[in-house]
C-alpha cells in the first residue's frame, strides 16, 4: 500500500503484511496484519513514529522515498514488529535522535542493540515542537509492554496509539470501515490487551479527554471516529460478561464429545448462548476472542495417562494468562481407568478466580446417569447466570 496522508504533514508510511499467517508463533493472523509507521513533517523538523517488522524494512524505505533528513525516530514500543527496522533506519539517517519512554531506554539496548547518546528518554507529558506540529508524549504503559507510550499531535487532533486500539487486519483502507474493524480489533484486544485491563482503564482516562479526531494505531487501519475505539475498549474491559458458555474441548474416542453435545443442547434449552471449539487444529485467536465475553468456561477433555489432553492444558494455560472476566468454570472429563485430569484443569485456571460449578467426570462412554449429570451442570450454570443478572 502506498503512503497516504492522515492530515497535512502526517503520512502513513508503514507496511501492510497481507501474507503473514502467524504472530509470536502463537496467534494466527487470518486477515494478515500491518506495521504502521507515521512520518510527521513540521516546518523545521521531521519525526518518524515507529519503524516496521524487520521483514518489511525495504517497504518502509520505499515509502520514505528520497527523504534526506530525519531528526527524530520516536520508538513508542520496543517489540520488534515496531523496532526491528530501527538499526537500519538509523544507519540510513545517522543524524536522527531516538525518542522513547524512560523504560524503553534499557529495552532498546537489550532488544535491538541501540543505545548511547543517540537515545533520549522523554518525560510523560513532555512536548517537542517540529515547527507547527507539537508532539505530546503520553506514557501508556502495558499497552502492550511496560515501556509503551502514545503521542498526541494537537494541531491535527491525531493520536498515535501504538498497539493500543490496533487490529491484525491487512486492508487497503487508510481509515477503517467500522463494520470490518470491530471484530478484528476485538480479536486483537483478546490476544494482546486483555491481561492488562486495569492499566488500559487508566490509559483510556488519559487519552479520551484529548478530543482526538483520528487514532493511528500501529496495526490495522486508522480510526476516523475515535469514540468507537474508546467505547469498544470500555465494553471489553468493564462490560459485564454475556449469557454465554464457551466450551473448548478435545475428544479422543468420542466420550467427551458425547458430553459436550449434551451440554450444548441443555444450555441452549435454558436460553444460554454456546460457543464450542474443538481444540484439535483450533485457532487460538478465536478461542481468545470468545473469552472476552463468556461468563462461563466449561472445558471438556479426555485423560491421557493421568492428565488432561495436552491440547487442553495449553488452552487453559493461555486462558489463565489472558485473564478474561469469566465468572464460572466447570469441566467435562472422561477417563479409561484412572485420572487426575480434573484437579490439573482446575489448578490451571486458578488465576481466573472463577467459581467452580460441579464438574462431570465419566469413566468410559457416558451412561444415561452421566448424561443426567451433564443436564444438572447445565441447570446449575443457568442458575448461576440468573443469580448474576446475566440473563
Q: Which residues bind ligand FEO (CB under 6 A)?
A: 77, 79, 81-82, 144, 163, 218-219
- Give the single-character DSSP code of 222: B
Kindly tell me which of 14 and 308 has the beta carbon lying closer to ligand FEO.
14
Kindly tell me which of 229 and 258 has the beta carbon lying closer to ligand FEO.
229
Kindly tell me which of 140 and 334 has the beta carbon lying closer to ligand FEO.
140
Pairing of strands 134-139, 127-129: antiparallel
Q: How far apart are the first and last CA of the chain?
A: 46
Is residue 277 exposed (0-12), middle (13-18) or buried (19+ Cβ within 10 Å)?
A: middle
How far is the C-alpha of 316 from the C-alpha of 220, rounded, in Å? Answer: 28
Kindly tell me which of 170 and 374 has the beta carbon lying closer to ligand FEO.
170
Kindly tell me which of 23 and 249 has the beta carbon lying closer to ligand FEO.
23
Minimum CB separation of residue 17 from ligand FEO in Å reads 12
> Which residue bears the cell 479409561?
336
Minimum CB separation of residue 35 from ligand FEO in Å reads 7
Kindly tell me which of 199 and 346 has the beta carbon lying closer to ligand FEO.
199
Under a CB-based contact definition with an 8 Å cutoff, are residues 309 and 278 in contact? no
Minimum CB separation of residue 319 from ligand FEO in Å reads 20
How far is the C-alpha of 152 from the C-alpha of 161, rounded, in Å? Answer: 8
How far is the C-alpha of 293 from the C-alpha of 288, rounded, in Å? Answer: 10
Minimum CB separation of residue 322 from ligand FEO in Å reads 15
Residue with the CB atom nearest ligand FEO in the bound state: 79
Minimum CB separation of residue 56 from ligand FEO in Å reads 13
The DSSP annotation for 6-38 comes to EETTEEE--EEETT--EETTTEE-TT-EEE--E
Minimum CB separation of residue 192 from ligand FEO in Å reads 7
Amino acid at each position: 500500500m502506498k503512503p497516504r496522508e492522515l492530515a497535512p504533514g502526517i503520512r502513513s508510511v508503514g507496511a501492510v503484511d497481507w501474507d503473514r499467517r502467524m504472530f509470536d508463533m502463537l496467534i494466527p493472523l487470518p486477515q494478515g496484519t500491518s506495521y504502521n509507521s507515521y512520518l510527521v513533517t513540521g516546518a523545521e523538523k521531521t519525526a518518524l513514529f515507529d519503524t516496521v517488522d524487520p521483514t518489511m524494512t525495504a517497504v518502509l524505505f520505499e515509502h520514505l522515498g528520497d527523504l534526506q533528513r530525519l531528526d527524530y525516530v520516536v520508538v513508542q514500543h520496543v517489540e520488534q514488529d515496531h523496532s526491528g527496522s530501527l538499526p537500519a533506519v538509523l544507519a540510513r539517517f545517522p543524524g536522527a535522535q531516538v525518542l522513547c519512554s524512560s523504560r524503553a531506554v534499557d529495552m532498546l539496548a537489550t532488544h535491538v542493540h541501540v543505545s548511547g547518546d543517540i537515545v533520549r528518554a522523554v518525560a510523560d507529558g513532555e512536548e517537542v515542537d517540529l515547527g507547527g506540529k507539537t508532539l505530546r508524549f503520553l506514557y501508556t504503559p502495558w499497552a502492550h509492554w511496560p515501556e509503551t507510550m502514545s503521542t498526541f499531535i494537537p494541531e491535527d487532533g491525531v493520536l498515535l496509539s501504538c498497539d493500543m486500539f490496533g487490529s491484525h487486519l491487512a486492508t487497503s483502507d487508510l481509515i477503517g470501515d467500522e463494520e470490518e474493524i470491530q471484530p478484528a480489533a476485538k480479536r486483537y484486544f483478546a490476544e494482546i490487551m486483555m491481561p492488562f485491563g486495569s492499566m488500559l482503564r487508566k490509559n483510556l482516562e488519559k487519552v479520551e479527554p484529548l478530543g482526538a479526531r483520528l487514532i493511528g494505531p500501529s496495526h490495522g487501519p486508522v480510526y476516523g471516529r475515535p469514540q468507537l475505539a474508546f467505547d469498544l475498549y470500555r465494553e471489553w474491559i468493564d462490560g459485564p460478561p454475556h449469557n454465554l458458555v464457551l466450551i473448548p474441548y478435545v475428544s479422543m474416542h468420542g466420550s467427551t464429545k458425547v458430553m459436550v453435545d449434551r451440554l450444548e443442547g441443555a444450555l441452549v434449552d435454558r436460553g444460554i448462548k454456546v460457543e464450542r471449539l474443538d481444540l484439535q487444529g483450533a485457532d487460538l485467536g478465536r478461542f481468545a476472542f470468545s473469552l472476552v465475553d463468556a461468563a462461563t468456561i466449561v472445558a471438556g477433555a479426555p485423560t491421557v495417562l493421568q492428565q488432561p489432553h495436552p491440547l487442553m492444558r495449553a488452552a487453559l494455560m493461555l486462558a489463565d494468562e489472558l485473564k478474561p472476566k469469566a465468572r464460572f468454570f466447570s469441566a467435562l472429563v472422561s477417563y479409561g481407568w484412572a485420572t487426575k485430569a480434573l484437579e490439573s484443569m482446575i489448578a490451571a485456571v486458578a488465576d481466573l478466580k472463577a467459581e467452580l460449578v460441579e464438574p462431570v467426570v465419566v469413566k468410559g462412554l457416558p451412561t444415561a446417569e452421566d448424561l443426567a449429570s451433564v443436564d444438572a451442570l447445565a441447570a446449575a450454570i443457568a442458575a448461576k447466570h440468573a443469580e448474576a443478572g446475566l440473563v
